Chains A and B, each alone.
Chain A
Amino acid sequence: MKLAYWMYAGPAHIGTLRVASSFKNVHAIMHAPLGDDYFNVMRSMLERERDFTPVTASIVDRNVLARGSQEKVVDNITRKDTEERPDLIVLTPTCTSSILQEDLHNFVERASLEAKADVMLADVNHYRVNELQAADRTLDQIVRFYIEKARKKGELPAGKTEQPSVNIIGISTLGFHNQHDCTELKRLMADLGIQVNEVIPEGASVHNLKNLPKAWFNLVPYRELGLMAARYLEQEFGMPYIDITPMGVVETARCLRKIQQVINQQGADVDYEEYINNQTLYVSQAAWFSRSIDCQNLTGKKAVVFGDSTHAAAMTKILAREMGIHVVWAGTYCKYDAEWFREQVSEYCDEVIVTEDHGQIGDAIARVEPSAIFGTQMERHVGKRLNIPCGVIAAPIHIQNFPIGYKPFCGYEGTNQIADLVYNSFTLGMEDHLLEIFGGHDTKEVITKGISADSDLSWNKEAQAELNKVPGFVRGKVKRNTEKFARDRGFSEITLEVMYAAKEAVGA
């Protein structure tokens, strides 16, 4: 048993659901107790999704505990099949079904005899993998399933596309700025004259998965999702994959050079140097920013970085290599991928921290007292407590991290966005600090909004206590309204009764 208040990566089934619900017309059925369908709330709220999330639960209740699911799961699958006509139904185990050890395989087999849709059991174990690993596995599983299926039917298309082309693998729902990154990557590929063959899983149809081998190569922008599928495709079809995250000016260039190399090996004849040069020097503002006086002021400032492997590694490199900022420590919660992370960042920071314990991270921030933090929502709140600004760079994230405006982290527009994020975090901290030195903007006491300033009314003890329970930001208003009410009616003392009568009278 472990005492835990907060977790960075969610449970396994969240990963499976993220992948399943990213595809078009794929329905996931969770084998779970009532209330475990919280994923639907998250997707609907965070992504502001217009459509019903294609996830339902086959409820595990007392009866299931006593007698097993029996027909229930099969019925639920076939029912969903007729109601929604999905292409694929993914039966998703949860922590509960992991311990019940019901033969879900058997249910899947039985259901697939009846259902028009393909039916599959997500091969994830709650106690062995987390959200990110599960997502990677599920994507791999779905890709394999449809490649095998096409192969058996002899529908696997032969050969490559005429023009150089790419599959972008790993864009998913509830991923940090994934939608924007996807747009930016497509734009980048268009600039390079590379055709986008398929994007998976977001918005893809399972029928198109058989076309994956037609691409010349695979691009896996995120470390956490898509590598397993990319490796499978490499092994089956000899498709090269590129796992350099194009985040930051230097890494984007490195990614493009790798693409150039990979497609030139397959007979293309491209040279991206001029494009890279042009983008770096004149189009993207990030390189210029790092030369400007603004950025000079950041030299040697202390920062700490924490997040998933992809974003924490990329940010560390950008801060240290492209902006001259001193990264005191960089860390990730992707413990299963610690080795890769260390290798990526060790030369750009003093210390590497790999942990899932937010307490340890909080302490490490307090110890270092950086000028800025780049982390998840948890680090943002640590920053609030310590009065240190924080730029959010990775999940777990809140609704404000699903902006409507165009905010990619990848590609050349991504470099601009990141420069803004970094610069805003630091200057805000600086501004606060200056204000403090010079005594703040204004003294708060001078301005009063009338009435309650020189009050002739007395609040009795209970009423005063009650007033103190009113949240600070409306307390003044409540006080003023109550006093106005009391004065109008000639009360001299404010009691609880008067307070509530006032509330009822003003209808607030």
Chain B
Amino acid sequence: MTLAQPEALNFECETGNYHTFCPISCVAWLYQKIEDSFFLVIGTKTCGYFLQNAMGVMIFAEPRYAMAELEEGDISAQLNDYEELKRLCLQIKRDRNPSVIVWIGTCTTEIIKMDLEGLAPKLESEIGIPIVVARANGLDYAFTQGEDTVLAAMAVKCPDQAPVAEAEKNERNAIAKLLNFGRKKEEVAAEESEYVNHPPLVLFGSLPDPVVTQLTLELKKQGIKVSGWLPAKRYTELPVLEEGYYVAGVNPFLSRTATTLMRRRKCKLIGAPFPIGPDGTRAWIEKICSVFGIEPKGLDEREAQIWASLEDYLQLIRGKSVFFMGDNLLEISLARFLVRCGMIVPEIGIPYMDKRYQAAELALLEKTCQEMGVPAPRIVEKPDNYNQIQRIKELKPDLVITGMAHANPLEARGINTKWSVEFTFAQIHGFTNARDILELVTRPLRRNNNLKDLGWEKLVQEEAKV
């Protein structure tokens, strides 16, 4: 700890004994995003209990998700997997009539080697509903990586030819056309002229609709047209992916999806930092522009304007330190943004580090540290929470970004914490939402400023133990 920090990023790997959400939690936001989907999690009571508690009140809103709860007969293969799944899927078709059923494979289906990928096509043709299989289990993945497995599976299902969609669009607009007579054509032409001529671009990553709109508009300002988004609002609206299309990720945990898009759909990946924070958003847009040979316009002022509007929050955090325990893979991007905000980051814990997919983000982090004149953080992959707690006790950071399992105990020991899961659900992308990130980051500091004169910081009696 006393050694001077080297300038280059420093990667370590610990034991992997850390707390995170099970990747099946992705159904919670994906079923809301993809409105005509139904998610069937094939697993045990343990999976169900997690979802039920983690999803909180959402569970009472008749979610389009269910457990296919495996019983002893399923485990010992006394029951036929195919017949059982058929029975449940027919029931789902009858009750909900979704456009797609997503099977989420779990630890148990892995261990008993249930061949979901093999069963799905057969059952799909028998019941007439597409079935997408995603093996989002705790044996292989952490938390947000669940979305990655689902989107990778969906990438394979995207249509590969554009014209069909065009014809459909015309048909749908038939009445509008009738009313508008010839005007329609001009409008389309006018609309098209707002865009620069560039190869089709498809973005991937599930974001709330308002954020999708914001980012799309942001690119429109540069004359870049977003041809589609994986996932779309409906399964039936999955974007066309032809060979040679360009794709760009909006979230740092989508490495499998990126790989699938490149290898199986022959798309070209634009490796950019992620549009989190004004610096990230700007770098993201600039990179996309540069790939298409576009000179970005007005980004300087735009970024400066956003930073200026953040000043009240920046004053609270400048010079403060923040420790990421690591559980949702957003850590690198958030740390990069917070360093730019003037914070010091001693440690970034992260479940899994894809140095290729995150290359541009890592480079920006390194550059940001140099420019801000702060030591580069140590990046700890597969962290060990127990060791991290010891380091936190030693370093006494001003803020720890951590899971709920550690938040209250750390607060009771006088250490400010922010619950990391909130970053997954809050709107944090693009210029518009930079303030929301800082709203989250500064909340514990603001709260504790309000309480600071009470002398109630440490509320546990202990600390004799080594």
Contacts and interface: CB of A to CB of B under 8 A. Distances in A.
Given A57-B17, A381-B60, A466-B210, A3 B405 contact: no
A355 to B, nearest CB: 15
Interface string A483-508: 00000000000001100100111011
Given A36-B22, A51-B409, A500-B217, A44 B404 contact: yes
A367 interface: no
A249 interface: no
A14 B21 CA distance: 16
Contacts of B226: none
The interface size bin for chain B is: 35 or more
Contacts of B75: 99, 127
B309 A505 contact: yes
A60 B309 contact: no
B74 interface: yes
A59 B16 contact: yes
A35 B328 CA distance: 12
Interface residues of A, number: 66
Given A51-B412, A60-B139, A2 B405 contact: no
Interface in A1-41: 1-7, 10-11, 13-14, 32-38, 40-41
Given A504-B309, A505-B309, A53 B405 contact: yes
Given A41-B404, A505-B309, A507-B309, A7 B52 contact: yes
B432 A504 contact: yes
A375 B60 CA distance: 15
B360 interface: no
B408 A45 contact: yes
A138 interface: no
B138 A50 contact: no
Nearest to B413: A50
Interface in B95-150: 107-108, 110-112, 137-143
Nearest to A10: B49
Given A11-B49, A45-B408, A52-B406, A497 B217 contact: yes
B301 interface: no
B407 interface: yes
B111 A7 contact: no
A378 interface: yes
A34 B22 contact: yes
Given A7-B48, A11-B44, A496 B21 contact: no
Contact of B111 (A3, A100, A381): A100
A237 B262 CA distance: 71
Nearest to A76: B17
A57 B386 CA distance: 11
Contacts of A11: 44-46, 49
Interface in B40-70: 42, 44-46, 48-50, 52-54, 56, 59-60, 63, 65-70
Given A36-B22, A83-B386, A5 B67 contact: yes
Nearest to A398: B56
B44 A1 contact: no
B405 A44 contact: yes
A243 B96 CA distance: 46
B409 A35 contact: no
A85 B464 CA distance: 13
A165 interface: no
B300 to A, nearest CB: 16
Contacts of A85: 465
A52 B110 CA distance: 31
Contacts of B112: 99
B404 A45 contact: yes
Contacts of A57: 17
Contacts of B142: 34-35
Nearest to B220: A497
A65 B386 CA distance: 24
A38 B22 contact: yes
A447 B141 CA distance: 53
A271 interface: no
B412 A50 contact: yes
B66 A5 contact: yes
Contacts of B74: 1
A36 B138 CA distance: 8
A428 interface: no
Contacts, number: 185
A61 B140 contact: yes
A99 B111 contact: yes
A45 B403 CA distance: 11
Given A34-B22, A35-B21, A51-B460, A1 B85 contact: yes
B214 interface: yes
A1 B87 contact: yes
A34 B71 CA distance: 22
Contacts of A500: 214, 217, 432
Contacts of A466: 210, 213
Interface string A123-137: 000111010000000
Nearest to A33: B138
A324 B407 CA distance: 47
A373 B407 CA distance: 35
A96 interface: yes
B323 interface: no
A49 B408 CA distance: 7
Contacts of B432: 500, 503-504
A37 B327 CA distance: 13
B19 A37 contact: yes
B59 A507 contact: no
B186 interface: no
Nearest to A100: B111
A59 B137 CA distance: 13
B115 to A, nearest CB: 15
A504 B306 contact: yes
A274 B107 CA distance: 60
Nearest to B387: A83
A56 B138 contact: no
Contact of B88 (A3, A40, A56): A3
A130 B48 CA distance: 13
A481 to B, nearest CB: 14
Given A100-B111, A504-B306, A50 B137 contact: no
A61 B138 CA distance: 8
A192 to B, nearest CB: 32
A50 B71 contact: no
A2 B91 CA distance: 11
A460 to B, nearest CB: 13
A412 B9 CA distance: 64
Nearest to A95: B44
Interface string B68-81: 11111011000100
8 contacts: A1-B71, A1-B74, A3-B67, A10-B49, A41-B404, A59-B16, A500-B432, A503-B432
Interface of B: 16-24, 42, 44-46, 48-50, 52-54, 56, 59-60, 63, 65-72, 74-75, 79, 84-85, 87-88, 91-92, 107-108, 110-112, 137-143, 209-210, 213-214, 217, 305-306, 309-310, 386, 389, 403-409, 412, 431-432, 435, 459-460, 465
